[in-house]
Structure 1
């Protein structure tokens, strides 16, 4: 794998995944030997964000997307929410970091499921903000309607109020893990991703 990062506190599940026994969170690492499936290059942030929001709307909702640096190489940080699989109640929050190159990419991500009583963060904040303020237009694609709504409760400013919420855990993992991530020299030196293949 062209990426390595600190996995302390996690239990290895297989060659490219780890689990947190205290939360049920799962961390995975992958390498894709094909042109990255991104709607735009990292330099075109507005176009990239809109395309990602539209894709995520099919199965869940894109919460936020940023360009960050992993071992001095530009990368995409994407935070999404998805319905829990198999008709279970609640949501899964996913934070993924993709390092795209011209003809391949490397990625690591965490999946943080809701457990116990679900929807507490949203319910508490609805009483604070009012229902009329809970569902603003998506900041990257106003007018977009997806499987899950964009929700004011997902804003990172509320994370301190809900330190054990899966979205907070996902962001905390990113903040802790990205500084420790290292790229293989050969992978880091590959040509940058310049955009999707044109057909």
Structure 2
């Protein structure tokens, strides 16, 4: 795997997978030998954010997305939430750092699950803000309605007040790991991702079915 990073405090769970024994938080790395499946170029962040909102609307909701630098390479950082399908209630919060190249990519994914009493962050935030200010249109795509509605409880400003919430833990994990990522020089030297190649690939699949 052409990537390394600080995974101290986690235990190896499987090949390229680690788990925090105290919280159950998980980190997974995957290499994809395919043209990256990004809906827009990193250079067009507004379009990329909107299209990611549309993509994640069917499974939950995009919380935030930004372009960051990883070991000197441009990368997409996105944070999303989705229902836990293995439990009657609770959410799964996920972050991914995708380093895309012309014909391949690396994704470092982090997962933090809501367990025990669920909905505390939402309840506290709604009580403080009032229901009228709690649900607001998504800042990236105001007209998109996701399976999980966008709401103010996901804002970073609440993290300090709720340090043990899975979304807070997730952001803390990203902030800890991202600066430690190092890429193999051969991977870093590959040609950069171009959205045009992805569009060409989709066109070829439509015409030839592959």
Task: Give yes or no for TM over 0.5.
Answer: yes
Question: Which residue matches 1:83?
Answer: 83
Contact 1:114–1:166 (CA under 8 A) maintained in structure 2: yes
Q: Using the TM superposition, give the Cα deviation of residue 143 of structure 1 relative to its aligned residue in structure 2, in angstroms.
A: 1.2
5+ residue gaps, structure 2, are: 204-210
Q: Which residue of 2 aligns with 1:8?
A: 8
CA RMSD after TM alignment: 0.8
Cα shift at 1:87: 4.5
Match in the other structure for 1:149: 149
Instruction: Provide the TM-score with structure 1 as the length reference.
Output: 0.98
Which ranges in structure 1 are unaligned for 5 or more consecutive residues? Answer: none
- Bigger proportion of residues as helix: 2
- Aligned length in residues: 199
- Hey, what does 1:197 align to over in structure 2? 199
1:152-171, aligned counterparts within 5 Å?
A: 152-171=152-171
Match of 1:46? 46
Runs of 4+ in 1 over 2 A off after TM superposition: none
Q: 2: CA distance between counterparts of 1:184 and 1:82?
A: 32
Does 1:73 find its partner at 2:87?
no
1:92-107 map, 5 Å: 92-107=92-107
Alignment partners' CA distance in 1, 2:26 and 2:132: 34
The answer to whether the 8 A contact 1:35-1:197 is kept is no
- Could you tell me how far apart the structure 2 residues matched to 1:138 and 1:101 are? 29
Deviation (angstroms), 1:86: 2.8
Distance 2:31 2:153 in 1: 33
Point out the structure with max Rg over C-alpha. 2
1:109 to partner: Cα distance: 1.1
Which digits, 9 at most, give the CA deviation of each residue in 1:82-140, with x for residues without a partner?
10023531000001100000000001011100011000011011110000111110111
The Cα of 1:146 is off from its aligned counterpart by 1.2
Q: Give me the whole-angstrom Cα distance separating, in 1, the residues matched to 2:153 and 2:135.
A: 9
Equivalent-residue separation in structure 2 for 1:88 and 1:11 (angstroms): 28
The answer to whether the aligner puts 1:24 opposite 2:1 as a matched pair is no
